[in-house]
Amino acid sequence: MTENELSVEVLSLSLRCQQGVASEEDRARLEYLLSDSEQARLIYSGVVSDTVTLSEVANKNAMLFPSGENAEDVSGAVSPVALGKDLRPVRKGSWQFLLALAALVLIATWAVATFSEKESRNVAQHPARPLARIVHLEEVQWHAGSVEYDEWSAVNSGDTLKFDSGMLELVVEDSIQVVIQGPAEFELVSSEKAIARSGKLAARIGEEGIGFEIETPHAHVVDQGTAFSISVSPDKQTDVVVYEGMVDLAARDNSKADLEERPTYRRLQSGEGLRVDSQGGLNRITSVGARDFLPPLRLGREAVRPSRLIASVTDNVSSMDTSKYYRVMGKGFAEDCLSYVDRLHQWNGIDHRGIPAFLRGADYVMTFNDDKVLGDLQIAIEVTQPVSMYVLWDDRIESPEWLTKDFSDTGWDIGLDEGYNDRVPDKSRKTAIGSGKSVDFVFSIWKQDVMQASTVLLGSVQQDHIDEIPREVSQSMYSIAVAPLRGQGYNASK
């Protein structure tokens, strides 16, 4: 696809999404382009930086067009002023906001083309853009005495966002996207650094923002081109989990007289997380759920719910040996959902029928695919009520005794669509959208009915440890899904 073709497709899909006429395939295609193409993301960066200027010019020159809700010019075209009433920014989340901006840019670009030379000079004279902008506010209650901001407000060096509840979204220098949930206090120091004194945040940082640092009362977090989440409890700890890419993490030692001394960093990669306590100690975060962390920033803002069926996920791996975590997805099992915390693989139906009905909307655990080489792994799943527990097992691997003893093969299968990002050597693996498409391997679905709230112990894929590099081993780790036992439903008391 040429650069021009990519631009046309991205803007076309954006407009359909903003107008509410996009199909699920349209939205999935747009998300794929944004995740797969740096050029597609750059189009959005330009949209974010240009829209404020263009809309201000359009408003300033509204006198050039007839007023009124259905105003038309002499050629019969609807005026940008009237169109703007229907195409104002959508307030439903990160990517929806950007989609709305893309549509507005199309309109504003057409309008600017009709302005006089004098009005064009007004655009050129527009003051320098701010360091950042608040692009979305959701039920924000600002802290008493703090500065209050509106959507589209500029945020510059030294400005502090302090609020008691709600959520806001900040775009810094076009390449840094941060969502913050209150109660929170967040200070933007520069284009290279911010201070998070409290609250939960999720960030996605592009290549131009690599090196951006977030300092907390307990830690330094330096981005290396990634998507990650931070939870700051100012008196206790800072928790950091990496969804994609890498970050460098160091405990902040406030006892040192020379605070300029460079701390010792530890690199965390996709699927890894660590807690830094108030004494500077590092501890593994075993599982990640929606109650404790904001989800990664995705198209339409990923709808992640806390699990009411899975109380905890733990294993027998020493916290000194790993910093991996299990991600618990409440009601998250669906077509094209992610399979592992350390891969971009997805679950898909093996044909046009899609994933089996009994798995749709189930709670599930994103396991760590590299664990497929461990020979003595044990995973403990604590459930809160009677459930049907499913294990998705790679058909390339012989079924172990622990699986055949406690689970039965349902006779149903599901497909694994493998995908890799551009940070690993193999760029040939690309995922597709929809059931029966790009299915690379088939997994059998095994089931056990758990009759009461209890803990279920699962074993390892291998009987013996494999010393090969996990990515070179042609097999995959199993996954775990949990649904209410038929006739039970969710226990409302939980």
What does the alpha-carbon distance between residue 71 and residue 111 come to, in Å, rounded to a whole number?
Answer: 14
Tell me the HSE value of 280 on the side-chain side, using a 13 A CA sphere.
Answer: 10
**Mean pLDDT within 134-158:** 91
Helices (H), 61-176: 80-86, 94-112, 117-124
- Mean pLDDT within 191-201: 95
pLDDT-derived band at 253, boundaries 50, 70, 90: confident
* Rounded average pLDDT over 449-453: 96
pLDDT, greater one: 195 or 342: 195
pLDDT for residue 101: 52
Tens-place pLDDT, residues 403-416? 999 999 999 999 99
Cis upstream peptide for 386 (omega within 30°): no
Rg over CA atoms, the chain: 25
Whole-number mean pLDDT of the chain? 78
* pLDDT score at 42: 67
This prediction's pTM: 0.65
pLDDT digit string, tens, across residues 47-86: 544 444 444 444 444 433 344 444 333 333 332 333 333 3
DSSP secondary structure letter of residue 330? B
User: What pLDDT, on a 0 to 100 scale, did the predictor assign at position 28?
Assistant: 67
Average pLDDT score over residue span 92-115: 47
For 200, phi then psi, to 5°, come to: -110, 140
Q: Is the pLDDT of residue 95 over 80?
A: no
* More confident of the two residues 344 and 40: 344
Q: What is the pLDDT of residue 410?
A: 96
pLDDT band at 108 (very low <50, low <70, confident <90, very high): very low
Tokens (6 digits) for 486: 């038929």
Residue, of 91 and 374, whose pLDDT is higher: 374
- H helix or E strand, kind and range, residue 35: helix 24-36
- d(Cα 114, Cα 437) in Å, to the nearest integer? 46
Measure the CA–CA gap between 88 and 92, rounded to whole angstroms: 12
- CA distance from start to end of the chain: 51
What domains can be seen in the chain, in order of their start residue?
Answer: 3-124 (no CATH), 132-288 (2.60.120.1440), 310-484 (no CATH)
CA distance 249 to 268: 7
Structure confidence by residue, pLDDT tens digits, 289-324: 888 888 887 543 444 577 889 999 999 987 667 888
Mean pLDDT of the region 9-20:
68
Determine the length of the chain: 494
Cβ contact 342:271 at 8 Å? yes
Mean of pLDDT values over 356-377: 93
Q: Do the Cβ atoms of 203 and 180 come closer than 8 Å? A: no
Residue 397 has pLDDT above 70, yes or no: yes
Task: Say whether pLDDT at 332 is over 60.
Answer: yes
Q: Is the dihedral of CA 114, 118, 120, 122 positive or negative?
A: negative
d(CA 276, CA 475): 34
* pLDDT interval class at 43 (50, 70, 90): low
